[in-house]
Every structure is written in structure tokens, then in C-alpha cells.
Amino acid sequence: MSRVAGPLATLALIAAVVLAAPAAATADSGRVSPRGGAGPNDVARALAYWTPERMRAAQPLDGPTPIEDLASASFAPVPEPSVPPFAANGRLFVRQGTEQGFCSATAINSPTRQLVLTAAHCLNSGPRGLRGRTTWSRTVVFVPAYTDGLAPFGAFVAHRNDVHVAKQWTKLGNPNFDIGAARVQPNAEGANVADAVGGGVTIAVDLARKQRFQTFGYPGKVRRMQNCSSPYVGDDSTTYRIPGPPTIAIRCHWAPGASGGGWLIEEGRMIDGLTSYARRRDLRHTFGPYFSKRNVGALVAGL
């Protein structure tokens, strides 16, 4: 989960996005992917790297979990992660530049049966430094219902050119577009991810913001899936000034590692949000993109 220091940092980020975006950039942009084709040994390399021991030792990609996050955590363990509707959720292991770690993600009920949804910053760093260069994640492996090194449905690897985020994220780091998609290869038994977990969840777009969400993730050093339920509790008004649908808040205080975790509705049949960021001085809320045709819809079209 990416962390925003507080309201002043949020305003600084938004000011940078507004100044960097010419008038034409207020229109939503298309998705982008890393350059370079899929290698014949991508799957074997990824599985060889992410051994059960490395998975157990992995830390959240977002960085260490502050003590106050643990003290104020509002999540609880899922009793049996390998049964619906929990089974569609899992850990996403990645290497990003010199860093390695994990996020959270959800298997989607797409026509290809291979789609996984997570936060954009789990697949691409967004612009960093004075030149705004970005770093793509590699060795991307999704493990649904991951539990303490065990993969009850196997591991699903995304080729380098099968990870996607919006241009609004790579160019501007716009939190309204902090959504990433990956098409993953079948597991060792040849099953696509949505079929392996008993059916992925369906993406909802442009619904009323006032929903009750059942949210999932792998925060901090926990070894099994966690969950937290919350209604919609408002928008992040600081995102009104930047392109795209403003982000929304829930009353669940997630910790780093939960980034990309799904916000499910309709008894787990649909996904209508995901964990994106929190504020260090706010120990009650987590924020995520509002799901619209303009962001997630444009991102996953054809995947």
C-alpha cells in the first residue's frame, strides 16, 4: 500500500499532476506495458526464483509496516482462504528494480480466464526523481489463497509484456488510476487462474459509490489472508482536482502489503475497488480508485 505523508503531501502531489498535465491530458489515456516480448523461459525463471522459502521471507513491496499501523489494524484472518469467495484473492510476488516483495491481487472472471487485478504501483513504480522515470515489475507471480508458503491452486506467472497500467499512472502517478492488470499463464496443471479458483470475480464499473465492501489483503508480516468489511465513507476530496474519477475511502486501516487487495461486493461475486494508499496520520481509513469505465474499464478491455 503506497503511503501519503498527509494532506500537505497529497496537495503537493496533486499540484504536480495538474501542472504536468496539459489540457489535452485531462482526457483518459490508454494502457501501457513494458517493452520487449515474452521470453520462452519466463515462467521457469519466475518459478525458480520465487521458491516457497523466498515467498515466506518476502516483505511488502511498499516497505516496512510502521508500529502504529499494527497497533491500529482493523483486519482479521480469513478462516479458510481456499474456498469461495476468498479463493480468488491472493499474494502477488514481484521484483521491481533493486527491490523485491509482495502485494495483494484478485483473479478476475474475464473471457480469457487469465486476468489478475492489483494496484498499478505493484506493477510499475510510477514516475520517480527529477526525470520521472518509471520501473516495471518483473518476475511477477500470483498465488491465490496463499498461506504460509503454500499455494493450494498453484502459481500463475505473468510474462513481461503481459502486465498493464494506465498512462495516467506511468506519466503522472495519478492515484485515480492506480490500477494494474496482468494476464497470467496457466499453472503447472494447465488450468487458467479463474478456473483453478472456482471462478474469478466480475469487475463492476460506474456503480453507486455507496457500497459495502469486503476487502482482502496480506498486510505486513502476516502469513495468511486477512479481511475487513466497511461501507463507503466518502471521497478523498484532494483528488477532485486531478483527471479521472476521485478516489474513495473505507473505514479499514490496512498496512503495507495489502496494496492491490480487492474490495468485493455482492457477496464476493464482484470487485468494485482495491487498496491503493493510506495517510500516515490517518489510522482509520484506506483509499482506493473508484471503478469506472474511464480507468479500470479502459485498462482491462480485451484482456
Residue from 104, 133, 129 nearest 276 by CA: 104
Q: What percent of the chain has pLDDT over 90?
A: 77
DSSP conformational letter for 116:
E
Joined together, the cell numbers standing for residue 92 give: 502477488
Mean pLDDT of the chain: 89
**What is the grid cell recorded at 106?**
484478485
In angstroms, rounded to a whole number, what is the distance separating the alpha carbons of residues 104 and 143? 9
**Residue 188 CB: number of other CB atoms within 10 A?**
11
The 8-class DSSP code of residue 197 comes to T
Q: Name residues whose C-beta falls within 8 Å of residue 213's C-beta, 6 or more positions apart in sequence.
A: 229, 230, 231, 232, 250, 263, 264, 265, 272, 273
Q: Report phi then psi at 61, rounded to 5.
A: -60, -30
In this predicted structure, the answer to whether residue 157 has a pLDDT above a threshold of 90 is yes
Place of cell 492506480: 178
Rounded to whole angstroms, the Cα distance separating 257 from 234 reads 23
Of 64 and 50, the one with more pLDDT: 50
C-alpha to C-alpha distance for 169 and 32, rounded to whole angstroms: 10
What is the H or E stretch that residue 194 is in? helix 193-196
C-alpha cell at 44: 521457469
Grid cell in block for residue 181: 492488470
Give the span between the Cα atoms of 60 and 196, in whole angstroms.
25
pLDDT digits (tens, 9 = 90+) for 114-133: 999 999 999 999 998 878 89
- The band of 27, judged by pLDDT with boundaries at 50, 70 and 90, is very low
Pairing relationship of beta strands 212-217 and 262-265 according to DSSP bridges: antiparallel
Task: Read off the amino acid at residue 182.
Answer: A
Residue 301's Cβ-count burial label (10 Å; 0-12, 13-18, 19+) is exposed
Distances (CA, A) of 75 to 218, 230, 252, 255: 10, 11, 7, 9
Banded pLDDT at 71 (limits 50, 70, 90): low
Q: How far apart are CA 279 and CA 170, in angstroms?
A: 21
Provide the pairing of β-strand 202-203 with 270-274: parallel
Q: Tell me which residue of 143, 117, 110 sits closest to 225, measured CA to CA.
A: 143
Domains, the chain, ordered by start: 2-300 (2.40.10.10)
Contact 137, 122 (CB under 8 A): yes
The tens digit of pLDDT for each residue in 224-265 reads 999 999 999 999 999 999 999 999 999 999 989 999 999 999
Query: What is d(CA 171, CA 185) in angstroms, rounded to the nearest whole number?
Result: 28
More confident residue, 105 or 3: 105
Which element (helix H / strand E) includes 167?
Answer: helix 167-172
Asked whether 285 and 8 are in contact (CB, 8 A), the reply is no
